[in-house]
Structures are given as C-alpha cells and as structure tokens.
C-alpha cells in the first residue's frame, strides 16, 4: 500500500510523460509490482509488530484503514477469508487498486506508443 501511495505521488508530476526511458522504467515497475507481491508469502506483513497508524498508537483505537495492507495482500493471494478477517473494506479497496493499476499501465503503454511514433516521424522527416 505504501508503494502504491508513493507511485501515486510520482504520477502527479510524472517525468515519464516527457522522457521515453523514464516511461519504460515506470512501465517495468508497474508490471513487476504485482509479480513481487505474488512471490512474497501472503502472511509476509501479518506479524511485523510495527504500528504506523496514529489512532492505534495514540488512542489504542483501530481506524477504518487498520489492517488494509494485510487484507489486500491476502486478497492478492486469493485468500478471501483472511482478507476479510483483517478488514472488510478490502472488498472495495482491492478492486479500486486494480483499476488504478490498470489505468496506469494503459497510460504508460500509450505513452510508449506515442514516443515510438514521434521517433518514426523524426526518422522519416530526416530521410526526405
């Protein structure tokens, strides 16, 4: 989840829109991310003992987002019951994350095609 948040911040001022090489790295990272999550075990984040939620740290109260990262990880591994155990909101969050990921991949592929068409136009213009 933190990685997706960082990727969302990068997407706001995305250098991939200007540079072909950055776009290729961005596309590679987008494709690699779900694969890495599948390679990691589903319980990789379950018992870390690391709390970053302010409501949990200061007030000992679980907010609506508590357990969402673990729930998404279990959902990604098709462990539905464990995902619901950590947070029922995963039924909305996981499809939203998948849709956002698909939009980013689609945009990166379109940019790659646009960069290639501009390169072809420049090459044809120089030959004439």
Q: Are 72 and 94 in contact (CB under 8 A)?
A: yes
Rg (CA), the chain: 19
Three-state secondary structure call for residue 79: coil
Full residue range of the structural domain in which residue 89 is found: 21-127
Residue 95 has pLDDT above 90, yes or no: yes
Contact residues for 22 (Cβ-Cβ < 8 A; gap 6+): 15, 16
- Domain presence at residue 2: no
Give the torsion through C-alpha atoms of 73, 74, 77, 82, to 10 deg: 180
**Residue 75: predicted pLDDT:** 92
Predicted structure pTM score: 0.71
Short-list 102, 46, 54, 55, CA closest to 77: 46
Q: Mean pLDDT over residues 97-108, rounded?
A: 92
- Give the confidence band of 2 by pLDDT, cuts at 50, 70, 90: low
Query: Percent of the chain beyond pLDDT 90?
Result: 30
How many domains is the chain partitioned into structurally? 1
Question: Distance (Å, rounded) from C-alpha 27 to C-alpha 21?
Answer: 10
- Domain presence at residue 9: no
- Domain presence at residue 42: yes
Question: Distance (Å, rounded) from C-alpha 109 to C-alpha 50?
Answer: 37
- Give the confidence band of 54 by pLDDT, cuts at 50, 70, 90: confident
- Domain presence at residue 51: yes
- Domain presence at residue 8: no
Question: Distance (Å, rounded) from C-alpha 41 to C-alpha 80?
Answer: 15
- Domain presence at residue 13: no
- Domain presence at residue 6: no
């Amino acid at each position: 989840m933190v990685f997706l948040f960082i990727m969302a911040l990068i997407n706001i001022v995305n250098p991939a829109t200007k540079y072909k090489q950055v776009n290729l790295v961005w596309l590679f990272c987008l494709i690699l991310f779900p694969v890495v999550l599948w390679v990691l075990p589903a319980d990789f984040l379950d018992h870390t003992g690391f709390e970053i939620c302010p409501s949990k740290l200061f007030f000992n109260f679980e907010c609506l987002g508590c357990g969402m990262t673990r729930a998404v990880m279990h959902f990604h591994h098709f462990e539905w019951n464990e995902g619901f155990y950590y947070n029922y909101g995963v039924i909305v969050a996981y499809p939203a994350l998948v849709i956002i990921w698909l939009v980013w991949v689609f945009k990166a592929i379109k940019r790659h095609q646009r960069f290639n068409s501009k390169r072809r136009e420049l090459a044809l213009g120089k030959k004439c």
